[in-house]
């Protein structure tokens, strides 16, 4: 940590020498200086320096054209001078940085849809300090999009929103919420009886008046999530499609692999199917059409299976077919029939939707195996099918043992603060993969350098940590450029900024940021959040 503290001292000295050679310094330059010092100092534990910078920042205007003479800017920077002139005594001035506990792997994710930035910031901090992960949407359209993409455990929804009111959102998402047993909590500062009645009629689980009582709120969340888990544990069917669910699939595979081991079953074949380019269906036709496409796929598949076969929803747009007493040749025949039927029989109500899928086939003839091994082998074959061009089936063979999803995850930090870049790189360089993906780390000093670089490779994944305030090209400009020119299903973006103003965070979320973290931050927390988002999306 001393290395980064020295970099802070060096930056302050360098800035002072530079300003000393100029007649006047712009207030905008002062704002940027204290903005960077505040974020970085807090991150590395220099809390006294962080607090001084925060106080000075409050008295400055980011967009001011005022010019400060030497006496004026020296007066502003004076509180930092003891930390520059006597760095050997810094141990008495700095607060020790405590260790950070690793977060639990399965941290429940909550989605908050509310246009009140003050409330959203408060609730997000409160939620995360109580062991949950929070995603935020500032309007209804983005909220619906995140709900379908991220599959949160709970939805917290404001009744009044600027673009779509809470009632309209309920109408759009309640089918999925009911199928997934997702608690939907309505919030309102007015809480009229009619609004409550309408919300409950549409399927909301609860209606809570603002301001919330935080002492009651978290026992309430825990209660609802535990009830959700009990329902999941007792259910064997996917409510949306009518297929069996993952729990049933595991139980069926355990029973059949045991029969295979004992010799009661001669052959068993597992097929994993994944609908190709399914996100484009949701983006083009809407999520209701996507749900109908999933139901139609299951209907077509089950029309070609026998009693005793199992069709299960493995997750999202991925399905599993378990075929006892069925060999590789029969599995290929079934897949061909399903492919042909999907071409001839369109999705009800959406004749323009074309459904294609890739399949990985894992046949087993006698011998010892396990559900986990079967699923892993079928998944390798499925990956090979997608890698070969999609809309095809690949049968597992031993050569595929070496095959792994080689889609690289590029972790990119774009920040003009060299201390932040250095810290994140040092943490990342010892990690060769993130959430199961091989990973590479890249860093850029500003948005313009990043945009001008040849950074995008088709087929790879990207997670950007993007600073909000940078020279040459502002972080919000970079964000807008990315969301205009690159696929959202390949690029995740988290804003990393010391800006806490409502308009800045709201603008970032409206432009399509997937998450935001305010400086100061803990580096391990940044990567823990990144891993959870990558696991859900990629």
pLDDT at 251 over 80: yes
pLDDT at 87 over 50: no
Nearest CA to 464 out of 436, 424, 422, 500 is that of 424
Structure tokens belonging to residue 454: 């040849």
Nearest CA to 273 out of 253, 297, 290 is that of 297
Return the H-helix or E-strand segment holding 444. strand 437-444
DSSP string, 479-533: HHHHHHHS-TTTEEEEEEES---HHHHHHHHHTT-SEEEESS--HHHHHHHHHHH
Return the H-helix or E-strand segment holding 464. strand 461-467
Give the integer Cα–Cα distance in Å for 177 and 181: 6
Name the least confident of 2-6, 130-134, 386-390, 417-421. 2-6
Give the pLDDT band of residue 337 (cuts 50, 70, 90): very high
Residues 6+ apart with CB under 8 A from 455: 410, 412, 442
Query: Mean pLDDT of all residues in the chain?
Result: 84
Kindly report, residue by residue over 199-211, the tens digit of the pLDDT.
999 999 999 988 8
- Secondary structure letter of residue 456 according to DSSP: -
pTM greater than 0.85: no
What's the pLDDT score for residue 86? 45
Residue 466: beta bridge partners? 414, 495
Q: Which residue has the tokens 């399914």?
A: 278
Kindly report, residue by residue over 445-501, the tens digit of the pLDDT.
999 999 999 898 877 889 999 988 888 888 899 999 998 888 777 899 998 876 555
What's the pLDDT score for residue 84? 57
Return the H-helix or E-strand segment holding 8. helix 2-20
Handedness of CA 185, 189, 195, 197 (dihedral sign): positive
For residues 258-281, give the mean pLDDT: 89
The three-state DSSP-derived secondary structure of 373-419 is: HHHHHHHHHHHHHHHCCCCCEEECCHHHHHCCCCCCEEEEEECCCHH
CB atoms < 10 A from the CB of 329, how many? 11
pLDDT at 22 over 60: yes
Residue 517: beta bridge partners? 496
CB atoms < 10 A from the CB of 426, how many? 13
What's the pLDDT score for residue 119? 85
Return the H-helix or E-strand segment holding 154. strand 154-158
Name the least confident of 112-116, 128-132, 238-242. 128-132
pLDDT at 98 over 50: no
**Rg value, the chain, Cα:** 27
pLDDT at 97 over 50: no
The alpha carbon of residue 180 and the mean position of all alpha carbons in its chain are separated, in whole angstroms, by 19
Return the H-helix or E-strand segment holding 439. strand 437-444
What's the pLDDT score for residue 502? 62
């Amino acid at each position: 940590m001393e290395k980064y503290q020295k970099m802070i001292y060096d930056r302050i000295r360098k800035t002072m020498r530079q300003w000393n050679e100029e007649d006047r310094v712009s207030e905008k330059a002062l704002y940027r200086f204290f903005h960077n010092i505040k974020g970085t100092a807090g991150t590395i534990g220099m809390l006294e320096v962080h607090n001084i910078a925060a106080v000075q920042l409050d008295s400055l205007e980011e967009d001011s054209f005022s010019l400060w003479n030497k006496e004026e800017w020296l007066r502003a920077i004076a509180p930092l001078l003891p930390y520059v002139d006597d760095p050997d005594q810094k141990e008495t001035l700095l607060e020790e940085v405590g260790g950070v506990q690793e977060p639990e792997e399965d941290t429940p994710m909550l989605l908050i849809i509310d246009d009140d930035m003050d409330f959203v910031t408060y609730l997000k901090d409160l939620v995360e300090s109580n062991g949950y992960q929070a995603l935020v949407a500032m309007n209804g359209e983005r909220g619906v999009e995140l709900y379908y993409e991220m599959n949160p455990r709970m939805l917290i929804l404001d009744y009044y929103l600027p673009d779509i009111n809470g009632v309209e959102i309920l109408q759009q998402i309640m089918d999925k919420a009911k199928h997934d047993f997702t608690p939907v909590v309505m919030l309102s500062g007015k809480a009229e009886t009619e609004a409550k009645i309408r919300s409950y009629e549409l399927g909301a689980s609860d209606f809570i008046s603002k301001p919330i009582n935080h002492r009651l709120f978290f026992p309430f969340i825990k209660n609802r999530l535990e009830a959700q888990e009990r329902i999941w544990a007792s259910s064997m069917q996917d409510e949306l499609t009518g297929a069996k669910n993952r729990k049933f699939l595991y139980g069926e595979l355990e029973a059949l692999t045991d029969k295979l081991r004992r010799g009661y079953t001669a052959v068993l074949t597992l097929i994993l199917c994944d609908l190709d380019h399914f996100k484009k269906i949701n983006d083009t036709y809407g999520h209701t059409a996507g749900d109908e496409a999933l139901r139609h796929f299951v209907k077509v598949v089950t029309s070609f299976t026998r009693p005793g076969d199992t069709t299960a929803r493995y997750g999202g747009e991925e399905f599993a077919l378990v075929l006892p007493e069925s060999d590789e040749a029969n599995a290929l025949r079934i897949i061909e029939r399903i492919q042909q039927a999907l071409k001839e029989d369109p999705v009800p109500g959406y004749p323009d939707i074309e459904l294609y899928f890739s399949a990985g086939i894992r046949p087993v003839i006698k011998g010892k195996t396990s559900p986990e091994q079967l699923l892993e082998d079928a998944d390798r074959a499925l990956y090979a099918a997608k890698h070969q061009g999609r809309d095809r089936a690949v049968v597992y063979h031993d050569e595929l043992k070496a095959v792994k999803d080689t889609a690289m995850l590029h972790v990119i930090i774009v920040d003009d603060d060299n201390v932040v870049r250095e810290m994140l790189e040092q943490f990342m360089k010892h990690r060769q993969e993130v959430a199961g993906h091989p990973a590479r780390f890249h860093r850029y000093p500003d948005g313009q350098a990043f945009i001008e670089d040849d950074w995008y490779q088709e087929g790879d994944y990207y997670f950007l940590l993007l600073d909000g305030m940078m020279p040459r090209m502002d972080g919000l400009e970079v964000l807008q450029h990315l969301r205009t020119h690159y696929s959202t299903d390949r690029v995740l973006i988290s804003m990393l900024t010391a800006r806490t103003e409502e308009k800045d965070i709201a603008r970032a979320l409206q432009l399509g940021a997937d998450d935001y973290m305010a400086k100061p931050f803990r580096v391990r927390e940044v990567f823990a959040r990144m891993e959870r988002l990558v696991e859900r999306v990629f």
